[in-house]
């Protein structure tokens, strides 16, 4: 039976090792132990990072063969089969081909405390890749994947290695992605207490996987409430000072996910989150800038915080970041400027003096509708200041705004 296809993508039969891979899996099906050892050794020598080879393994029925070996073999044979599967499961077609209860059950059955650590690490990584597919996330949840993974978080250090905890956390975060039921289940099983306990024990970049779980689960209201009560915002701000761009990025993303209501803004201000976020907004790392902008957008939603932001961060800095960023970053920076102009009189004058009106008029005529809408919104807040209106008029602002009335974008209108 031909393997399921996600995009009807076919393997490259002109690939020099296409035939070799098929022959090796034929040997693996034969059941002779000497032949199995030989075939696994040969497969380990193949570049499984090559998408052509990953797809060929799927075409040869290799996923089923490898899972059977993982289920029925022990020791080095089981480990070798798992390593090969980890190499090919990065391909979306292979992830799609894993969408059956039987296949995913093999992975979850391996998640037992008495299982070898190396197998546990590999299986949790495979689960993380499989969870890229929504159907796989659903099946894994139905099979009890969430409590299986959380069992290791609950045991924690020193019973579970830092490396394994990281892989478990990344797998759990992948299961939580865009799934409120999984996020709620994590909360009900005491997930916040577990991850906060681990955050206090783990230092530096070892905390990155834990923040990945937190960031996904903050969409759950009950989890978010407890996160605030347990000092989660303060912990996130502490990690903004890390030298690791990746840790800075996930901590800032968690702050953004925590929301922009008054309580969230107050907690972030009291935790002294403004200074590190202003520093990170000019980072050389694009992912850090993106996350810091999203966090500052939330911070500036509160009037008192918007005042602090104007005092601490020159509008020129925000405009520089705005003009250099992509659409998502532009939207966040424009919303920050909107919050400043809408709540701080001094901010409106600062924006005028920094040349923000010119930039906003230019962006309001762009092709990205969301960016246009945010630019018009920020420009409207600037125009609340009577002294700024003549400046808008001199720059042709009225003509631009009248032309925008003819658009079909309800956000702009």
Whole-number Å distance between alpha carbons of 208 and 90: 21
The residue among 62, 168, 159, 157 whose CA lies nearest residue 110 is: 168
Our measurement of the distance from residue 17's CA atom to the centroid of its chain's CA atoms, rounded to an integer in Å, reads: 35
The per-residue b/e assignment along 273-299, b for 16 or more CB within 10 angstroms, e otherwise, is bbebbbebbebeeeebbbbbbbbbbbb
Predicted local distance difference test score (pLDDT) of residue 410: 57
Whole-number Å distance between alpha carbons of 260 and 302: 8
Predicted local distance difference test score (pLDDT) of residue 1: 46
Whole-number Å distance between alpha carbons of 8 and 58: 12
Predicted local distance difference test score (pLDDT) of residue 386: 80
Predicted local distance difference test score (pLDDT) of residue 65: 96
Helix 117-130 and helix 101-109, axial crossing angle in degrees, nearest 10:
150
pTM above 0.95, yes or no: no
Whole-number Å distance between alpha carbons of 220 and 382: 35
Digit-by-digit pLDDT tens for the chain (413 residues) are 445 555 556 777 887 889 999 999 999 998 788 999 999 999 999 999 999 999 999 999 999 999 999 999 988 999 999 999 999 999 999 999 999 999 999 999 999 988 999 999 999 999 999 999 999 999 999 999 999 999 999 998 888 999 999 999 999 999 999 899 999 999 999 998 999 999 888 878 999 999 999 999 998 888 999 999 999 999 999 999 999 999 999 999 999 999 888 999 999 999 999 999 999 999 999 999 999 999 999 999 998 889 888 888 788 999 999 988 899 999 999 999 999 999 988 888 888 888 888 888 888 878 888 998 898 888 888 877 787 777 666 656 555 554 555 565 555 54
Predicted local distance difference test score (pLDDT) of residue 208: 96
Helix 232-240 and helix 221-229, axial crossing angle in degrees, nearest 10:
70
Whole-number Å distance between alpha carbons of 337 and 322: 10
Predicted local distance difference test score (pLDDT) of residue 401: 54
Predicted local distance difference test score (pLDDT) of residue 409: 58
Predicted local distance difference test score (pLDDT) of residue 402: 45
State the greatest distance between any 2 C-alpha atoms of the chain, in Å, as a whole number: 86
Residue 95's contacts (CB-CB under 8 Å, 6 or more residues apart) are: 6, 89, 129, 130, 132, 133, 136
Inter-CA distances, 355 with 49, 231, 293, 330, 352, Å: 49, 40, 20, 16, 5
- Main-chain dihedrals φ then ψ at residue 61, nearest 5 degrees: 75, 20
**How many CB atoms neighbour CB 69 within 10 A?**
20
**How many CB atoms neighbour CB 397 within 10 A?**
22
């Amino acid at each position: 039976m031909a393997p399921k296809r996600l995009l009807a993508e076919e393997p490259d039969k002109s690939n020099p090792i296409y035939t070799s891979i098929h022959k090796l899996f034929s040997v693996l099906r034969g059941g002779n132990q000497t032949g199995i050892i030989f075939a696994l050794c040969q497969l380990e020598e193949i570049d499984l990072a090559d998408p052509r080879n990953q797809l060929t393994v799927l075409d040869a029925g290799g996923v089923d063969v490898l899972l059977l070996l993982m289920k029925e073999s022990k020791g080095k044979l089981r480990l070798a089969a798992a390593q090969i599967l980890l190499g090919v499961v990065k391909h979306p077609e292979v992830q799609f081909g894993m969408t059956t209860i039987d296949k995913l059950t093999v992975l979850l059955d391996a998640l037992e405390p008495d299982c070898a650590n190396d197998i546990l690490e590999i299986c949790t990584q495979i689960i993380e890749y499989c969870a890229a597919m929504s159907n796989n996330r659903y099946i894994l949840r139905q099979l009890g994947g969430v409590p299986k993974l959380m069992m290791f978080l609950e045991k924690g250090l020193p019973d579970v290695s830092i490396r394994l905890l990281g892989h478990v956390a990344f797998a759990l975060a992948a299961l939580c992605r865009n799934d409120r039921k999984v996020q709620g289940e994590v909360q009900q099983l005491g997930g916040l207490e577990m991850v906060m306990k681990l955050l206090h024990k783990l230092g530096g970049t070892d905390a990155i996987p834990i923040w990945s779980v937190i960031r996904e689960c903050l969409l759950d209201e009950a989890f978010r409430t407890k996160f605030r009560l347990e000092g989660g915002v303060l912990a996130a701000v502490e990690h903004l000072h890390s030298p690791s761009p990746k840790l800075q990025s996930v901590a800032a993303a968690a702050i953004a996910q925590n929301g922009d209501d008054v309580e969230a803004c107050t907690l972030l201000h009291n935790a002294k989150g403004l200074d590190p976020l202003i520093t990170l907004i000019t980072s050389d790392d694009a992912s850090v800038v993106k996350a810091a902008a999203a966090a500052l957008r939330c911070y500036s939603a509160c009037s008192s915080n918007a005042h602090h932001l104007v005092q601490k961060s020159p509008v020129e800095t925000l405009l520089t970041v705005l003009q250099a960023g992509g659409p998502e970053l532009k939207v966040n920076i424009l919303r920050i400027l909107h919050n400043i102009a809408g709540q701080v009189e001094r901010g409106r004058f600062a924006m005028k003096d920094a040349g923000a009106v010119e930039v906003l008029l230019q962006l309001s005529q762009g092709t990205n509708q969301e960016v246009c809408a945010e630019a018009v919104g920020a420009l409207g807040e600037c125009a609340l200041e009577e002294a700024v209106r003549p400046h808008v008029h001199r720059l042709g602002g009225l003509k631009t705004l009248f032309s925008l009335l003819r658009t079909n974008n309800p956000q702009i209108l």
